[in-house]
Amino acid sequence: MAALLTIAVFSFMYKDNPLYKFAEHVFVGIAAGYVVAIEYQNVFLPNLWRPLTHGHYVLIIPFVLGVLMFSRFTSRFNWLSRWAIGLMVGTFSGLAIIGFAQGDLVAQIQANMVPLRAHSLIDTFSNVVIVVGLLASLVYFFFSKEHKGALGASARLGIWFLMVSFGASYGFTVMARISLLIGRLLFLMIDWPASFGIQLVR
Amino acid sequence: MERFDRRYIFLVIFIIVLFPLIWPIKLPIRVSKEAMGAYEAIDKIPPGSKVYFACDYDPGSMPELHPMTIAILNHLFSHDVKVIGGCLWPGAAPLLEDALNKVGVQKFGKKYGVDFVNLGYKEGREVVMVSVGRDIPATFPDDFYGTPVSQLPIMKGVRNLNDLAMIVNISAGYPGTKEWVQQVQSRYHVILAAGCTAVSAPEYYPYYQSGQLVGLLGGLAGAAEYEKLVGVPGTATRGMDAQSLGHLAIIAFIVLGNILYLYLKKKGKLTRR
């Protein structure tokens, strides 16, 4: 089944066709059903239902909030879901702000305070490139003054650094996509024949 | 050039990637300092210690990340390190179970509940991460099979991440390595090594450079490097020849495309869409 669905998806490379559409719909349907089953077994039952029915009555609050989310399906009472959504947005926003401040802002600023004269020539060059690239890239995003003169030159240098980073990201993306193709080809050549007791390639 | 059928490019890439999978070339694999960092951090863990294995990917990222999981579990179990696995992606728990059984049970004869446990999936993303840092049994009251974690020997003495040697995170996106760094490493100052898809790797290199990550495995190449370090060549090593040739083909197409573009522009034959 996995092999036939893989080949059906690959058929899209020739052109769009009913086989590909069928595989796509099967995937979406199974993924949705699987997630619902997993959420019920791994989240709802152990973290809410069982503790609630065994005396942890404070859990009635998140239970009611969860039920309120289903009010989205009604046109008359869908405003009730805003209570639950508001709580979720507030919680995640608070966590995100702390996480960003701790993990990204402070730590990264600290890490980029490197000596411009290090022990070796390579480290010195590397540190200078880091500092110059960081400052030039930041200058590019400073829009309170027109990019002319020294500011404009710094911004243009910043663009070059940004383009290099985009190129590196593109290269890694290519690597990821080729890896997915390799994974499917290894499945079709090794795992699929092995299920019939056939060794197609060594 | 605009009318060139892209299906010929698909066919060329397909053949070039298929060829070394059937007839391996065995190109050398160079280990990066990021992969070495992860290896050395895991190597230093004393036998008998416990590690939290955060498995945050699904079958869509299996080709890149499952070989990493297998290689790292090989390393952990060969050093008699106990593994407590948890997942933040719905599709991750069966994949982790598959890896734990293949490596832990079949290869090293480890026992479930004593040497390793799969706590399964939990919804909540960053909230779960912070909660794991405070109280693992409260976050995961049951394991993947529905057994209360209080009944499992491996969970004795484990309250939160302070009772564990380090976190190893394999992630395909959100929630994943970035959130583990922001919410857990920064808050609880635990040792964190990560493996991620190649698409995400450029975003996480700054975390390695700042020391927030002790090691980083990026994509199939990172998995192949770790397989080389632990001496267990697997699908990642096998796929690297195809990876390298596929990249060369893409580079050739880009160079050819640019040469054609400049030639047509010079001749004035370039048509704007």
pLDDT in tens, B101-116: 999 999 999 999 999 9
B221/B241 Cα distance (integer angstroms)? 10
Interface predicted TM-score (ipTM) of this complex, two decimals: 0.86
Answer yes or no: do B126 and A189 touch at CB < 8 A. Answer: no
Per-residue pLDDT band at B267 (split at 50, 70, 90): confident
Residue tagged 């605009």 (tokens) = B2
Distance in Å, alpha carbon of B13 to nearest chain A alpha carbon: 9
User: Tens of pLDDT along B72-92?
Assistant: 999 999 999 999 999 999 999
The distance of Cα B141 from the centroid of its chain, to the nearest Å, equals 26
**What span, in angstroms and rounded, lies between the C-alpha atoms of A141 and A131?**
16
At residue B6, the pLDDT reads 86
Q: Whole-angstrom Cα distance, residue A192 to residue A199?
A: 9
Using the beta-carbon criterion (under 8 Å), do B17 and A201 form an inter-chain contact? no
Beta-carbon contacts of B230 under 8 Å, excluding residues fewer than 6 positions away, are B39, B71, B74, B75, B78
Question: What pLDDT does residue B270 have?
Answer: 60
Residue numbers in chain A where pLDDT is lower than 50: none
| Cα–Cα distance for residue pair B204/B264, rounded to 1 Å | 40
Q: Which residue of A has its CA nearest to B234?
A: A186
Mean pLDDT of B196-224: 95
Q: Which helix (H) or strand (E) holds B117?
A: strand B116-121
Residue B272: the pLDDT is 58
Q: Give the pLDDT of residue B144.
A: 92
Q: Which residue of B has its CA nearest to A91?
A: B127
Judged by CB atoms closer than 8 Å, whether chains meet at A189 and B22 is answered as: yes
The mean predicted confidence, pLDDT, of chain B is 93
Residue B155 pLDDT greater than 90, yes or no: yes
Which of A25, A189, A12, A99 is closest to B235 using CA atoms? A189
Which of B10, B131, B182, B190 to probe the A interface (max A CBs under 10 A)? B182
- The per-residue pLDDT for range B167-188, each reduced to its tens digit, is 999 999 999 999 999 999 988 9
Question: pTM for the complete prediction?
Answer: 0.88
Quick one: which H or E segment has residue A128? helix A121-140
Tens-digit pLDDT profile for residues A80-113:
999 999 999 999 899 889 889 988 998 899 988 9
Nearest to B198 among A14, A39, A172 (CB): A172
Scanning A35-74 for CB atoms below 8 A from B yields 35, 38-39, 41-43, 46-47, 50-51
Query: Rounded mean pLDDT of B157-161?
Result: 94
Give the list of residues 6+ apart from residue A17 with CB closer than 8 angstroms, or none.
A11
Binned at pLDDT 50, 70 and 90, residue B264 comes out as confident
Among B161, B118, B160, B125, smallest CA distance to B143 is for: B118
Choice between A200 and B98, residue whose per-residue pLDDT is larger: B98
Q: Touching check for A17 and chain B: CB below 8 Å? A: no
> In A, residues 150-179, which contact B (CB 8 Å cutoff)?
165, 168-169, 171-176, 178-179
Closest chain B CA to residue A110: B210
Q: What is the mean pLDDT of residues B31-46?
A: 96
Ranges A38-42, B187-191, B213-217, B221-225: which has the least confidence = A38-42
Tell if the CB–CB gap between A175 and B221 is shorter than 8 Å.
Answer: yes
Share of chain B above pLDDT 70, in %: 97
